[in-house]
């Protein structure tokens, strides 16, 4: 098209070319430029300021189709303006568009004596480039799967080339074992045959031409690709009656095994379930899963309500003249005993407390607890008959009934009897 227009203009104006005194030249611009100027040089025609200057637009045949775009009396019109300097009269167009490409302009100079001289025609070429559009078949793939990126070829003059980028770096698509390229008149396709972790990233396609390079090139909106590597995960839980192990992963798990003390008791593909009881919960329950690439094992941490692994703990402490033993566990402790030198001196269900003094603290004080399945014993490590003063002997706080305390109780009973008798006599008499 450009060549055809040039040939026509050459043929129309060839007779004038040998005596051209007012000259212009073809101009090029990119769509998006702020402006483009076409220079009219009349310095060989007249050395004085011309009487009139006029710019016209011609068709391919050299016929004026838009006379007086700008002139001496109309220095600005829409997107055009006239700029003059000694020997020159420039036509300036603001914001050239692709539709302005191949427009033909001519300069006309008139002197004070009435002589008129026309310039040769000037052809304006406006280059342009659209932004390419990028699409992806998936945003997330598993390792080993394929994924396809499709970049639409943007309209542009000159016709652009398409370059692939990942995370701002050029993608080397020369390896046919990894990449497959398909090129048509409307789009360029990049196929990753078997995705790996290094294929993950942000992809763009960039359109470049001789006129649009570097920062002037047009880049698509990025598409992010996430590649999920091989993995396997296990969830092993119980509801009190059943223990269930489920597995997920890529590739899909081939087998799920539940093992009791190392022996397989259940095997399934994705989920395995067994019935549980107190006896089973005392054993070691594990789940094992594999998917051909990886395997994983998980232990059952809680065998479920009513089936928690049996346990018992005892805490034996003293403070301010009392020693207290507390027991916790599963099942709930059925008895807590405090012993002085091996003899039971106090008994409780969860807690037992005794009063202690210096004499008691010289003895051996221990606490014993049991819950029908397990038992535990603890020794009183620090016996404190009075606040802040531990004894030097064996630790322990005990509720002991001594001979002195028995005499005290007898006196109290006598006092209470006398009081009641006195109250009765007063009522009678």
Domains 2-128 and 231-299 belong to one CATH topology: yes
Single out the residue of 65, 67, 66 nearest to residue 52, CA to CA. 67
Given this model, what pLDDT does residue 258 score?
A: 95
Contact at 8 Å (CB) between 241 and 252? no
Confidence class for position 310, pLDDT limits 50, 70, 90: low
> CA 316 to CA 313: how far, in whole Å?
10
Confidence class for position 306, pLDDT limits 50, 70, 90: low
Given this model, what pLDDT does residue 240 score?
A: 79
Decide which of 2.40.50.180, 2.60.40.10, 1.20.1530.20, 3.40.50.720 is the CATH code for 2-128: 2.60.40.10
> CA 51 to CA 85: how far, in whole Å?
14
Given this model, what pLDDT does residue 239 score?
A: 87
Given this model, what pLDDT does residue 33 score?
A: 94
Q: What's domain 311-403's superfamily in CATH?
A: Immunoglobulins (2.60.40.10)
Pinpoint the alpha helices (H) of 289-402.
358-361
Model confidence pLDDT, tens digit, residues 98-135: 999 999 999 999 998 899 999 999 999 999 999 999 99
Please compute the mean of the pLDDT values over residues 217-221 and round it to a whole number: 97
pLDDT, averaged across the chain? 87
pTM of the model: 0.57
In a 13 Å sphere around the CA of 8, the CA atoms on its Cβ side amount to 15
Distance from CA of residue 275 to its chain's centroid?
A: 40
Given this model, what pLDDT does residue 309 score?
A: 56
Given this model, what pLDDT does residue 428 score?
A: 65
Listed range (80-89, 134-143, 411-420) with the worst mean pLDDT: 411-420
Confidence class for position 410, pLDDT limits 50, 70, 90: low
Which numeric CATH code is attached to 231-299?
2.60.40.10
Determine the topology of domain 133-228 in CATH: Immunoglobulin-like (2.60.40)
For residues 16-54, one letter each, b for 16 or more C-beta atoms within 10 angstroms of the residue's C-beta and e for the rest, the string is eeeeebbbbebbebbbeeeebebbbbbeebbeeebeebb
Confidence class for position 349, pLDDT limits 50, 70, 90: confident
What are the boundaries of each domain within the chain?
Answer: 2-128, 133-228, 231-299, 311-403
């Amino acid at each position: 098209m450009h060549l055809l227009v040039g040939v026509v203009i050459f043929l129309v104006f060839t007779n004038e070319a040998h005596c051209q005194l007012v000259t212009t030249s073809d101009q090029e611009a990119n769509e998006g430029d702020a402006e483009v100027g076409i220079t009219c040089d009349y310095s060989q025609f007249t050395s004085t300021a011309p009487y009139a200057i006029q710019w016209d637009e011609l068709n391919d045949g050299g016929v004026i189709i838009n006379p007086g775009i700008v002139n001496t009396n109309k220095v600005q019109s829409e997107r055009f303006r006239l700029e003059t300097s000694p020997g020159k009269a420039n036509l300036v167009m603001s914001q050239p568009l692709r539709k302005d490409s191949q427009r033909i302009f001519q300069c006309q100079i008139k002197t004070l004596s009435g002589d008129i001289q026309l310039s040769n025609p000037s052809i304006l070429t406006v280059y342009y480039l659209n932004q390419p559009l990028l699409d992806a078949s998936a945003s997330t793939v598993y390792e080993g799967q394929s994924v396809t990126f499709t970049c639409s070829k943007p309209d542009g003059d000159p016709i652009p080339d398409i370059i692939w980028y990942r995370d701002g770096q050029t993608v080397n698509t020369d390896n046919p074992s990894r990449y497959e390229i398909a090129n048509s008149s409307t789009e360029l396709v990049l196929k990753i045959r078997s995705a790996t972790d290094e294929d993950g990233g942000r992809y763009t396609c960039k359109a470049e031409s001789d006129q649009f390079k570097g920062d002037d090139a047009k880049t698509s909106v990025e598409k992010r690709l996430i590649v999920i590597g091989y993995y396997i995960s296990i969830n092993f839980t119980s509801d009190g009656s059943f223990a269930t192990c489920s597995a997920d992963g890529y590739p899909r798990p081939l087998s799920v095994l539940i093992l009791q003390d190392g022996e397989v008791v259940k095997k399934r593909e994705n989920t395995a379930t067994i019935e549980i009881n107190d006896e089973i919960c005392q054993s070691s329950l594990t789940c094992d899963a594999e998917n051909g690439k990886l395997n994983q094992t998980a232990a059952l941490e809680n065998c479920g309500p009513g089936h928690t692994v049996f346990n018992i703990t005892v805490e034996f402490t003293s403070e301010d003249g009392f020693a207290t033993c507390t027991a916790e566990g599963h099942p709930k402790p059925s008895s807590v005993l405090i012993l002085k030198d091996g003899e039971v001196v106090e008994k409780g269900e969860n807690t037992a407390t005794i009063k202690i003094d210096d004499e008691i603290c010289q003895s051996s004080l221990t606490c014993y607890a049991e819950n029908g399945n397990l038992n535990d014993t603890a020794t009183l490590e620090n016996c404190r008959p009075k606040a802040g003063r531990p004894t030097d002997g064996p630790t322990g706080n005990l509720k002991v009934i001594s001979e002195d305390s028995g005499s005290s109780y007898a006196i109290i009973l006598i006092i209470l009897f006398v009081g009641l008798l006195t109250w009765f006599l007063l009522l009678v008499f």
